[in-house]
Amino acid sequence: MIPEPDVVSVRVTTEIDVAEARQEARKLALRHGFGTVRAHGLATAVSELAMNLVLHSARGGLIRLTVQDAPEAAVIELVSEDDGPGIPDLGLAMEDGYSTRGGLGCGLPGTRRLVDAFAITSCVGAGTRIVCLVRRP
């Protein structure tokens, strides 16, 4: 029997939504037996992606977290999706220190290091979609 997935989604348009999204993420991780370091890492990844939605996508976007939980292992899928301007050069955006808005430019590359799997697709004029996986143990 496959257990029902635990799903949380947050519409992100302002900074308050970012705070809510990462709180939800942390609670979700702790609820499914992830350690505090992993929960903190996931919350930070959510914070980075959500803040990017606020800063770089005019109309914000959606953060969705889905947990597949089994006794021996669990995985949280984090999806960030928007219909914003898209990213013209993904290679550049994934570089440490690259920012178009005066940030530190470590949001995307940092997030990739925080999670177990990371995939980004972006289409100029149509939007950006990022999928991350965080595993337990």
Partner 1 sequence: MTEPMHGVGQILLQNQAHVLDAWLARLHDTAPSAQPASLQLLKLELGTLVEKLTAFFLTGEGEGDALKSVEAQAAAISAACARDGLTPMETATLILSLKAIAGDLLNRESGRGTNELDRRRAALDAVVDKLALVTFASFVETREEIIRRQGRALLDLATPALPIWRHIILMPLVGIIDTQRARQVMEWLLEALAREEAHIAILDVTGVPLIDSRVALHLTKTVEAARLLGSQVIVTGISPDAAQTLVKLDVDLSSMITRGTLRAGLAEAFRLLGQNAKGPTETML
Ligand X SMILES: Nc1ncnc2c1ncn2[C@@H]1O[C@H](COP(=O)(O)OP(=O)(O)OP(=O)(O)O)[C@@H](O)[C@H]1O
CB nearer to partner 1: pick between 22 and 129: 22
For ligand X, the binding residues in 56-95 under the rule CB under 6 A are 56-57, 82, 84-87, 93
SS3 of residue 25 by DSSP: helix
Distance (Å) of CA 112 to CA 3, 6, 16, 120, 134: 28, 23, 24, 10, 11
Q: Answer whether 104's CB lies under 8 Å from 98's CB.
A: no
Chain Cα centroid distance, residue 11: 13
Shortest distance, CB of residue 5 to Mg ion, whole angstroms?
28
Q: Is 45 in the site for ligand X (CB under 6 A)?
A: no
Q: What is the per-residue binding string for partner 1 in 14-33, x denoting contact by CB under 8 A?
A: -xx-xx--xx----------
Shortest distance, CB of residue 124 to Mg ion, whole angstroms?
18
